[in-house]
Amino acid sequence: MRIEEKRDQIVEELMPFEDHFERFAYIIDRAKGHPPLADEYKIDTFLIEGCLSQLWIFPEFKEGKCYFYTDSDAAITKGTAALLCELYSGETPEDILSLEPDFLGVTQHLSPNRRNGLTNVRKKIKAYAELCLKNH
């Protein structure tokens, strides 16, 4: 599945929820299905700055593709970060750099601090993709 198709699928999953509280409940439920990040990766190196919650993103590069794993001490933060990790995991650095996420009805209902944290997650993912592109 192409990265654009993955994005469209996520958007389609969120579309039926007209109320943003229902949408967040769905995102939180999805987050519960994500495995926790191993404690060895819950370190400052992988901590996302600008977020009120503790939020970690662990990147990995294998066989020409990037993978991202996340965890947080707040369910909504973990859920929104997990959406980005799902979107960009298994993609080439070029594809990651070419596609901005567009999750209808999610970001505008986040608090400014959570929105800032999500923006920083995207920046971290982009920076890792750029690093992989340079080094591989």
- Where do the H-state alpha helices sit in the chain? 3-14, 20-32, 75-88, 93-98, 112-135
Q: How sure is the predictor about 102, in pLDDT bands with cuts at 50, 70 and 90? A: low
How far is Cα 126 from Cα 100, in angstroms, rounded to an integer?
10
Please name the residue that has the structure tokens 């995102």.
27
- CATH number 3.90.1010.10 is the correct assignment for the domain at 3-135: yes
**Model pLDDT, residue 68:** 96
pLDDT at 23: 83
51 is catalytic: yes
Domain residue spans in the chain? Answer: 3-135
**How many Cβ atoms sit within 10 Å of the Cβ of residue 60?**
13
Total-model pTM: 0.87
The per-residue b/e assignment along 99-133, b for 16 or more CB within 10 angstroms, e otherwise, is bebebeebeeebeeebbbbbebbbebbeebbeebe
